[in-house]
């Protein structure tokens, strides 16, 4: 069938119809099929969200639709019909003609999806020149038109810009412009806002929704984020380990889930409503920072670059048994503050004190400081040395401080129990563990030194929502038991709402607002805090989400 016959099809015929799709994994993988028996449909003007955690096969479905499956992953059963035409049976030549014209895709990473050495205008023009016979002037007019449609300011300047001159949000708008310029029937969006800040994400989501309504495009939207799905989906399909376990209208699936797995996932999404927190028993100040600042002097002695202020005038204190969250978008300086406090980098201004004793900002740091301040990093795949056993990583700290190996081993075994892993795991290497398990190991390594202050730098941001809930619960539990001071850096307001006693909001290297979590979330005073809260996806749905009653 061709596009012409598709046009005469009944209006309610699905644009994309996936039936019984199965994609095989190479032998030796953890399961036989990447996806199996997956059936769903996307109608004209409808936005369907494929929801699933990592490894659920949602991206494989997107690749099957676009005909972009890697060589090792063959589609072995079922059909994928675009306007009635089975794409799995189509020749590569035919698929190439369809891509861009009848179906198009927006990827997660707007930084790498554009060619860095080509001007944005030329990249869009290439697409038009390839698929249409329009003359150059007409193409330019069309490009300017579509750039205006995706709400890019000053389209003429955008055309002449290289990708690196644009922000992440602008690049993603360019990608969407490219995807929509040929008026495709189907848009496949694979986590298009995951790499973006929350306020940018809100804008892009609104844009996708708007364009989809204007053009009647069918959208297959792939995401792991329930908030995003709640924000934009008409229909939702939930995937688990390659199987579609539940689908229905967004309203139905997100507020009255039938399947236990969906219920579990929804329950794991942290609420934006902070729970009541008991006041601190004591006011022992563990960490205090006054006027802390970090300035990077750019350039070398030959070429003086401009100074970059990463953080300035930071006033911060964390008490024993208290969790203080630093929230902000990328580039707000929240990680800089964490690293200055941990003395992994040297702050350039201000005062820092731990347990009441002043800590020098530069030069060598007292060994006792290293013991008392520990940090857990974001990327669980890179924070353990791949060439050393887990046990070696955990006993390293105590042995640095003179604890004999046998004693350090015993403590490591006890810590494994605390982070709910088996002591036998000490003999294994990091690659044998999943992301969440590795993060538990990192926590165990930090706790081995019995620190007073634990810094968690986006420690749950790389994890799936169900794993994230477990790690958050673990951190909260450990903090209660050991009465740690916890400095929690996150971009995720939902996480901050659930775990923090106090919240510090940062923007452009400065603190714009700080206070008790309830006050900040209920009555934010600073406009930026209000904007952040307003941009959090899925706010409307938040109260409807089924959650266990607070303990």
Where does this chain bind another protein (CB under 8 A)?
28, 30, 264, 267-268, 270, 342, 344, 367, 370-371, 373-375, 377-379, 381-388, 393, 396-397, 400-401, 420-422, 429, 431-434, 436-437, 440, 442, 445-446, 448-449, 466-467, 469-470, 472-474, 498, 548, 551
Q: Which is nearer to another protein, 116 or 548 (CB)?
A: 548
**Is residue 80 within 8 Å of residue 21, measured between CB atoms?**
yes
Between CA 13 and CA 36 the distance in angstroms is 24
**By three-state DSSP, how is residue 329 classified?**
coil
Shortest CB 126 distance to another protein, Å? 30
The side-by-side arrangement of strands in the sheet containing 510-516 is 373-376, 453-457, 485-490, 323-327, 502-507, 510-516
8 A C-beta contact, residue 499 and residue 325: yes
Q: Using DSSP, state whether 294 is helix, strand or coil.
A: strand
Going from the C-alpha of 483 to that of each of 57, 322, 453, 454, the distances in angstroms are 41, 8, 10, 11
Query: Which of 378/529 has CB closer to another protein?
Result: 378
Question: Pairing state of beta strands 485-490 and 453-457?
Answer: parallel
* 482, 447 contact by CB (below 8 A): yes
Smallest distance, another protein to C-beta of residue 422, A: 8
Instruction: Between 103 and 375, name the residue whose CB sits nearer to another protein.
Output: 375
Question: Least distance from C-beta 80 to another protein, angstroms?
Answer: 27
Q: Which is nearer to another protein, 157 or 367 (CB)?
A: 367
**Structure tokens, 141:** 């007019």
Nearer to another protein, 300 or 306 (CB): 300
43's enclosing H/E stretch is none
For residue 261, the minimal CB distance to another protein (Å) is: 12
Query: Shortest distance, CB of residue 237 to another protein, whole angstroms?
Result: 23
Q: How far is the CB of 430 from another protein (least distance, A)?
A: 9
Own/partner long-range contacts of 420-425 (Cβ < 8 Å, ≥24 apart) = 420/474, 425/390
Least separation in angstroms between residue 150's CB and another protein is 32
Q: Which residues contact 489 (CB under 8 A, 6 or more apart)?
A: 325, 326, 334, 335, 337, 338, 455, 456, 457, 458
DSSP state of 99: B
We find the least distance from the C-beta atom of residue 550 to another protein, in angstroms, to be: 9
| Min dist. Cβ of residue 272 to another protein (A) | 14
Indicate the residue among 202 and 493 with the shorter CB distance to another protein.
493
Three-class HEC string of 350-376: EEEEECCEEECCCCCCCHHHHHHEEEE
Beta carbon of residue 383, minimum distance to another protein (angstroms, whole number): 4
Q: Which is nearer to another protein, 18 or 478 (CB)?
A: 478
Q: How far apart are CA 85 and CA 89, in angstroms?
A: 9
Name which of 104 and 437 has its Cβ closer to another protein: 437
Q: From the DSSP assignment, how many helices (H) and strands (E) are in the chain? A: 21, 20
C-alpha span between 241 and 254 (Å, rounded): 19
User: Closer CB to another protein, residue 7 or residue 551?
Assistant: 551
- Which of residues 437 and 529 has its CB atom nearest to another protein in the complex? 437
């Amino acid at each position: 069938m061709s596009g012409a016959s598709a046009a005469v099809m009944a209006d309610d015929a699905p644009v994309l119809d996936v039936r019984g799709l199965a994609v095989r994994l190479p032998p030796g993988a953890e399961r036989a099929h990447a996806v199996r028996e997956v059936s769903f449909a996307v109608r004209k003007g409808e936005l369907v969200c494929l929801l699933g955690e990592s490894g659920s096969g949602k991206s494989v479905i997107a690749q099957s639709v676009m005909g972009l499956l890697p060589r090792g992953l063959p589609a072995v059963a079922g059909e994928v019909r675009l306007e009635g035409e089975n794409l799995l049976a189509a020749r590569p030549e035919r698929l190439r003609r369809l891509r861009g014209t009848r179906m198009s895709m927006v990827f997660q990473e707007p930084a790498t999806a554009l060619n860095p050495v080509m001007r944005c205008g030329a990249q869009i023009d290439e697409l038009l020149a390839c698929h249409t016979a329009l003359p150059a002037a007409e193409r330019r007019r069309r490009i300017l038109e579509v750039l205006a449609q995706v709400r890019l300011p000053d389209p003429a300047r955008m055309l002449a810009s290289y990708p690196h001159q644009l922000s992440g949000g602008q690049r993603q708008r360019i990608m969407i412009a490219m995807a929509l310029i040929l008026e495709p029937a189907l848009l496949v969006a694979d986590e298009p806002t995951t790499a973006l800040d929350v306020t940018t994400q809100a804008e892009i989501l609104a844009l996708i929704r708007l364009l989809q309504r204007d053009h009647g495009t069918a959208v297959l939207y792939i995401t792991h984020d329930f908030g995003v799905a709640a924000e934009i989906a008409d229909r939702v399909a939930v995937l688990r380990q390659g199987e579609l376990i539940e689908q229905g209208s967004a309203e139905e699936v997100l507020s009255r889930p039938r399947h236990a797995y969906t219920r579990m996932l929804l329950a794991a999404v942290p609420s934006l409503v902070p729970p009541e927190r008991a006041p601190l028993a004591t006011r022992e100040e563990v960490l205090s920072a006054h006027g802390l600042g970090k300035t990077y002097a750019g350039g070398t002695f030959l070429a003086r670059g401009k100074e970059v202020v990463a953080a300035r005038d930071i006033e911060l204190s964390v008490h024993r048994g208290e969790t203080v969250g630093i929230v902000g978008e990328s580039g707000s300086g929240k990680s800089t503050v964490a690293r200055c406090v941990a003395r992994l980098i040297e702050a350039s201004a201000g005062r820092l004190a731990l347990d009441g004793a002043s800590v020098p900002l530069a030069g060598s740091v007292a060994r006792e400081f290293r013991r008392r301040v520990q940090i857990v990093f974001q990327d669980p795949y890179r924070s353990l040395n791949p060439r050393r056993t887990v046990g070696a990583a955990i006993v390293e700290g105590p042995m640095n401080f003179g604890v004999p190996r046998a004693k350090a081993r015993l403590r490591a075994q006890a810590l494994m129990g605390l982070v709910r892993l088996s002591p036998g795991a000490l003999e294994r290497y990091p690659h044998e563990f999943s992301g969440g398990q590795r993060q538990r190991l990192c926590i165990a390594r930090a706790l081995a030194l019995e620190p007073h202050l634990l810094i968690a730098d986006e420690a749950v941001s790389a994890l799936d929502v169900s794993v994230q809930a477990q790690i958050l619960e673990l951190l909260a539990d450990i903090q209660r038991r050991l009465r740690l001071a916890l400095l929690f850096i996150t971009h995720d307001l939902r996480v901050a709402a659930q775990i923090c006693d106090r919240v510090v909001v940062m923007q452009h290297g400065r603190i714009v607002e700080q206070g008790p979590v309830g006050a900040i979330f209920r009555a934010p005073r600073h406009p930026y805090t209000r904007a952040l809260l307003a941009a959090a996806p899925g706010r409307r749905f938040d109260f409807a989400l089924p959650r266990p009653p607070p303990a």
